Amino acid sequence: MHDKWQRATAIYLIVGILAAMAGCVPVATPTPPAPEPTLAPTITPSPSVEIKVATTAAPTATPEPLILPSPAPLNPVSAAVGQIEAISFIDAKHGWLLGSACADDLATCKSRPVVLRVTTDGSEHWVPQHVPMAYTTDSLAEEIQNQPRVNNVLFITKKDGWIYGESAFYTNDGGNTWFASDQPIRSLSAKLGILWAVIGESDDAWQIATSDDGGKTWKTAANASGWKGVAPQLVVSSATQAWVLSSDADGWYLWQTNDGGASWTTLPEPDGMPTVVRILAVDPSGQLWLMSGAQPGGDLQEKTMHRSDDGGTTWEQVALTTMDQSVPCRIPWLGELRQQPGSLATNGEGQWFIALGRFTLVGSDAKACKWAESILAEDANLGDATIECVTWFDATHGWAAANPNRLFITNDGGANWQLVKVR
């Protein structure tokens, strides 16, 4: 494959990025399942809570109920998985896969209803599960333009989970029943019992909200009038520390909180790196990482990996694409970065993995210095297909989704990957 990269670099002209809309959700830090709540028929407004949940009766005059009281209609469980949208695992055995039907004829299929699968053995067997009546965010059929759209899944216990995107749904019984949200959840992350969410009707009108009870009640974070940019990326390292990265035509914006969202600090815009696409991530030690890409040219793209040891104030370059073979820390030219959940993930032992469009899964050594194919492109047999996302539960157990409908699993830290078909 080194020869392949050398040939690629020799013909390299320009580089860039096309953003995609689907991805894996980072694995939530496992927390013991909370007892199922018994809610009163109505909810009394609390001055500290800005978003409320009601699951047993029609909402009263409480501010903006997040979850509507009546169960949402369901899609048929019998539809076959044609394309994988996102995956979520709470441990090495229990996981959920959000897929879509009708992906075997991408040229004509404009309506793609979502389907859900669940595994209890780490991916050997996948069982159909109830899922709300919704479609993928890139479904184009005119007759479904006003229907719910989702592209991500996150479970925090065996019973409590979310399917979200331009619409959002919540379950507290493992997926047998789903309740619709009255506002979109653009991004969702869980850490040490705290849920963090980007909520908003559009990518350029959003807020940050947090919940300490699994999503039953929510608080809107500070800085509600100060957010700007589109497609905000939310990364969380603890119950109190998080970052938000967004961009617009004027540049990139980065914020940090160290008090659970009560206050946010604007950090300097990261510079000295490509600006077309940036993917923010945090490792278990709290170090912040930023993968950046320039404008692609064909299958080639300039990329850099930076690390921040001070919470995002300053950045150090760790690896880059280069034609100079004497540079030790190199990233492949081949493949396109996509700014979406699950594009960049760590196994917690220093190794990072990139899900690259039009290439394959690429992994690093323990210092994020030397990068190579983790799943060989010829073994993946992808053609122009895409590795959608990658996620890890620990240093041993990882999953990478590829389309159409291919899931790769590893139980040895990425040394070997097994192909699993999800139906």
Instruction: Dig out the tokens for 407 from the structure.
Output: 């899931």
Taking only the tens of pLDDT, the chain with its 423 residues reads 444 434 444 433 333 333 333 456 555 444 444 444 333 333 333 333 333 333 333 322 223 436 777 889 888 887 889 889 999 999 999 999 999 987 445 566 778 899 999 999 999 999 999 999 999 887 777 778 888 999 999 999 999 999 999 899 999 999 999 999 888 888 999 998 899 999 887 767 888 999 888 887 888 877 656 888 988 999 999 999 999 999 998 999 999 999 999 889 999 998 889 999 999 999 999 999 999 999 999 889 999 999 999 999 999 999 999 999 999 999 999 999 998 888 999 999 999 999 998 889 999 999 999 999 999 887 766 666 678 899 999 999 999 998 878 899 999 999 999 998 888
For tokens 């004497």, name the residue.
Answer: 326
Q: Comparing C-alpha atoms, which of 240, 299, 308 is closest to residue 278?
A: 308
76 lies in the same domain as 207: yes
Instruction: Dig out the tokens for 124 from the structure.
Output: 């050997």
- The span from the CA of 369 to the CA of 240, in Å, is 30
Point out the domain boundary residue: 201, 220, 239.
220
Q: Comparing C-alpha atoms, which of 183, 157, 158 is closest to residue 169?
A: 183
pTM score, whole prediction: 0.81
Q: What is the domain-level CATH number for residue 133?
A: 2.40.128
214 lies in the same domain as 287: no
273 lies in the same domain as 391: yes
Angle at 254 between CA 248 and CA 260, to 5 degrees: 130
φ/ψ bin of 361: left (φ > 0), alpha (ψ from -120 to 50), beta (otherwise): beta
Angle at 294 between CA 8 and CA 88, to 5 degrees: 95
258 lies in the same domain as 191: no
Angle at 75 between CA 211 and CA 124, to 5 degrees: 80
Q: Comparing C-alpha atoms, which of 108, 112, 103 is closest to residue 75?
A: 112
347 lies in the same domain as 320: yes
DSSP letter at 7? H
128 lies in the same domain as 192: yes
Structural domains in the chain (count)? 2
Amino acid of residue 32? P
240 lies in the same domain as 194: no
Q: What is the domain-level CATH number for residue 354?
A: 2.120.10.80
84 lies in the same domain as 125: yes
| 324: Cα within 13 Å, side-chain hemisphere | 6
180 lies in the same domain as 162: yes
Point out the domain boundary residue: 220, 250, 281.
220
379 lies in the same domain as 423: yes
291 lies in the same domain as 193: no
* Structural domain range at position 271: 1-17+228-423
- Provide CB contacts within 8 A for 3, sequence distance 6+: none
SS3 content of the chain, % helix, strand, coil (to 5): 5, 40, 55
Point out the domain boundary residue: 185, 220, 255.
220
177 lies in the same domain as 319: no
Instruction: Dig out the tokens for 215 from the structure.
Output: 């999503």
Burial 180-190 (b: 16+ CB within 10 A, else e): bbebbbbbbbb
